[in-house]
Amino acid sequence: MDNAEMLTPKDVGKRIKERRNEIGISMPELGRRVGVNKSTIQRYETDGVNPNRRMIINGLADALQTTPEWLAGLSEEKEIKDEDGRTICEGEVLDHLNSFLDAVAKTVQPEIQQRFLTSTLCLLIDLFSITAQHYGRTLNEIDRLAEDEALKKSIQQYTIHVDDIIVPVYRREMEAPIEDMKRFLDGLLHIFDKGRTRVDTVYLYNILHDAQVRLNAANDSVAP
């Protein structure tokens, strides 16, 4: 182990929040995975968790895709590794990519068409990466609202349901990137069309370019 000394409860809480933000899930989602409500997760992150409470630590570690040792401060190795030394996320992605390459090699013989499919997948991955970043922005905004004391009082005073706050935030941030994904997939449908509905790879590249420009502008607007 990297560090034999356990963290204080408050420092464990900081690690819970750090890891939750890293993997891009909200407090309600973490609560769902652990089997508690959002206010309990908020208490864990703010007040902390005793690292000796193994049942809670183990449950949180599993939900956060990390190790109990890292949460408790007994190790600095936060990523769970498989027998090949890959993290869970790395392993899943690489397995899917290898499956794709194997399928393409077996079923699509012209090399130029293999390259087309591979390039298309790379564009789709890049586009999904942008969508994931928007999703992260959504979670950060939801967490910010959750900490807003004035908003909490308004929700209690006027009996506003929390979904009435969260859903508009999600839709506002995610509508454009989801539409980009739809346009991209619809463009693939029309690659071989004849006439005015036909599109080419430049059209697909432009979707990705415009999506990246929009994300950059959104990030610049909140930069300190």
Determine the pLDDT at residue 162.
64
- Look at residue 79 and tell me if it is in a domain: no
Using the 3D structure, point to which of 40, 72, 104 is the last residue of a domain: 72
For the cut 90, the answer to whether the pLDDT of residue 204 exceeds it is yes
Identify whether residues 62 and 93 lie together within a single domain. no
- Picking from 18-22, 31-35, 139-143, 198-202, which range would have the lowest pLDDT averaged per residue? 139-143
Pick from 77, 78, 58, 69: nearest CA to 4? 69
For the cut 70, the answer to whether the pLDDT of residue 169 exceeds it is yes
Identify whether residues 64 and 104 lie together within a single domain. no
Who wins on pLDDT, 70 or 143?
Answer: 70
pLDDT digits (tens, 9 = 90+) for 25-60: 888 989 999 999 999 999 999 999 999 999 999 999
CA gap 92, 19 in Å, rounded? 19
Determine the pLDDT at residue 130.
96
Who wins on pLDDT, 85 or 201?
Answer: 201
CA gap 122, 128 in Å, rounded? 10
Identify whether residues 99 and 150 lie together within a single domain. yes
Residue 59 is part of a domain; what is its CATH number? 1.10.260.40
Determine the pLDDT at residue 223.
61
Residue 45 corresponds to which tokens in the numbers above? 């992150």
Question: Domain range spanning residue 42?
Answer: 9-72
Determine the pLDDT at residue 224.
59
Identify whether residues 101 and 41 lie together within a single domain. no
- Look at residue 163 and tell me if it is in a domain: yes
Q: How much of the chain, in percent, has pLDDT values that exceed 90?
A: 61
Spell 54-81 as b/e; 16+ CB within 10 A means b: eebbebbbebbbbbbbbbbbbbeebebe
Identify whether residues 33 and 101 lie together within a single domain. no
Average confidence (pLDDT) over 122-145: 90
3-class secondary structure, 115: helix
CA gap 100, 98 in Å, rounded? 5
CA gap 182, 176 in Å, rounded? 10
Is there a contact between 139 and 25 (Cβ–Cβ < 8 Å)? yes
Average confidence (pLDDT) over 13-26: 90
Average confidence (pLDDT) over 80-86: 76
Determine the pLDDT at residue 1.
42
**Cβ-based burial of 180 (10 A; exposed 0-12, middle 13-18, buried ≥19):** buried
- Look at residue 4 and tell me if it is in a domain: no
For the cut 70, the answer to whether the pLDDT of residue 93 exceeds it is yes
Is there a contact between 28 and 45 (Cβ–Cβ < 8 Å)? no
Determine the pLDDT at residue 159.
60
- Structurally, how many domains does the chain consist of? 2
CA gap 65, 23 in Å, rounded? 8
Helix (H) or strand (E) holding 169: helix 163-189
Mean pLDDT over the full length of the chain = 88
Sign of CA dihedral 13, 43, 165, 183: positive
- Look at residue 3 and tell me if it is in a domain: no
Q: Which residues are within 8 A (CB) of 193 and not within 5 positions of it... i.e. 6 or more apart?
A: 199
- Look at residue 80 and tell me if it is in a domain: no
Report helix, strand and coil shares of the chain as percent, to nearest 5: 75, 0, 25
Identify whether residues 119 and 55 lie together within a single domain. no
pLDDT band at 3 (very low <50, low <70, confident <90, very high): very low
Average confidence (pLDDT) over 90-103: 92
Measured in Å, how far apart are the chain's first and last C-alpha atoms? 38
